[in-house]
């Protein structure tokens, strides 16, 4: 079944609506919807504003009112067929009298999928797959989480040219420049969880908050997660009231991610030390690597990652570079380079992860 130019244009608009700035991160996907009259003109638009709020289709239908009857709904994600905090979008579209539905990405969530089939059964024309790749790009992390049963993991670290994250005396401020630190906060704001180990909390006492250029915390903060068996000293900054904190009393990365997934977390920003990095790497649980490289040499000191047990170059972990960005320094600071990469096969990769809970869509 083909689509019209009006529908393709409406889908591009729906994708822009889905990506509206300010929508809270997770646990739901970002979705946009445009309702078209039979002559191809726009009747109404809508988008999802976060868990508990109307889904994009319902938002658009409410704005359209009676004009929705006989319309075509162009939506970036297959209408859900599930009752959570809100009812099924498939039933809302049927009740409104929509005659045709064009969606981009099929719903990857096993709990919510099936809306397309329900609509077809009721006699509605349904076309799927229009601009599907663009739609998946809008919800890359959500799609990964619901299909993999665990959060997407971004490992971030700062390093010198010779791979040192700190000098021999333990000092690490400032391997990264101010521009790199501001960029890190931008990336933190794209995640819903910050994860470190108990040793990092004990030694570095990080706040693990997302801050602006004035070093002030933002109003909405990711969950702060600390992984490890040791108790945390009550005066550690990670235990203040600036953000929620959870202590994951395990050394198993699979267990940690399962616990976070059960809390509807979908994107973990891993900022722990070399031991925690090794644990996630060898478990095959690093999906993206972001490193800030400073043009300096130390020759000794802490490495960015602990010993991976690699004894020959043939066993090296290779990474595919997807982005290289130069971050100019100022006030005498070094220029840093940000590398974004995807890891390849890892020595010691665990082949059977701990089963995770079924995802929800609310």
The one catalytic residue among 5, 7, 45, 57? 57
Residue 57 known to be catalytic: yes
CA 33 to CA 308: how far, in whole Å? 47
**Backbone angles phi and psi of 303, in degrees to 5:** -85, 160
Taking alpha carbons only, the member of 222, 312, 301 closest to residue 269 is 222
Cβ–Cβ under 8 Å, residues 102 and 1:
no
Q: Beta-strand (E) ranges in 175-222? A: 193-197
Per DSSP bridges, beta strands 100-105 and 72-77 are parallel
Which sign, positive or negative, has the C-alpha torsion 77, 15, 185, 341?
positive
Q: If residue 270 lies in a helix (H) or strand (E), which one and from where to where? A: strand 267-270
Strand-pair partners of 293: 159, 337
Instruction: Give the span between the Cα atoms of 202 and 207, in whole angstroms.
Output: 12
Pairing verdict, β 32-36 and 72-77: antiparallel
The whole-angstrom separation of Cα 99 and Cα 101 is: 7
Residues with catalytic roles: 57
């Amino acid at each position: 079944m083909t689509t019209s130019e009006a529908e393709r244009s409406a889908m591009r608009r729906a994708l822009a609506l889905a990506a509206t700035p300010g929508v809270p991160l997770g646990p739901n996907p970002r979705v946009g919807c445009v309702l078209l009259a039979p002559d191809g003109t726009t009747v109404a638009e809508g988008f999802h504003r976060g868990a508990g709020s109307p889904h994009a289709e319902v938002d658009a239908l409410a704005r359209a009112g009676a004009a929705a009857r006989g319309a075509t709904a162009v939506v970036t994600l297959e209408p859900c067929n599930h009752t959570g905090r809100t009812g099924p979008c498939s039933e809302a579209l049927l009740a409104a009298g929509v005659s045709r539905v064009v969606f981009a990405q099929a719903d990857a969530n096993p709990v919510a999928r099936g809306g397309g089939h329900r609509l077809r059964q009721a006699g509605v024309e349904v076309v799927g797959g229009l601009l599907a790749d663009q739609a998946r790009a809008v919800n890359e992390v959500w799609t990964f989480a619901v299909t993999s049963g665990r959060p997407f993991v971004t490992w971030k670290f700062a390093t010198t040219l010779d791979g040192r994250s700190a000098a021999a005396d333990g000092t690490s401020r400032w391997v990264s420049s101010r521009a790199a630190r501001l960029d890190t906060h931008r990336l933190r704001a794209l995640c819903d969880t910050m994860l470190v180990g108990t040793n990092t909390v004990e030694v570095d006492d990080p706040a693990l908050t997302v801050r602006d250029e004035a070093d002030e915390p933002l109003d909405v903060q990711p969950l702060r997660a600390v992984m490890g068996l040791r108790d945390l000293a009550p005066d550690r900054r990670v235990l203040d009231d600036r953000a929620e904190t959870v202590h994951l009393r395990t050394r198993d990365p699979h267990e940690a991610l399962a616990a976070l997934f059960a809390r509807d977390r979908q994107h973990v920003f891993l900022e722990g030390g070399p031991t925690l990095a090794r644990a996630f790497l060898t478990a095959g649980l690093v999906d993206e690597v972001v490193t800030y490289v400073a043009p300096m040499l130390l020759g000794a000191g802490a490495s960015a990652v602990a010993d991976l047990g690699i004894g020959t170059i043939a066993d090296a972990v290779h990474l595919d570079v997807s982005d290289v960005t130069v971050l100019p320094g100022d006030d005498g600071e070094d220029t840093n380079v940000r590398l974004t990469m995807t890891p390849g096969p890892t020595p010691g990769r665990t082949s059977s992860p701990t089963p995770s809970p079924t995802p929800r869509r609310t």
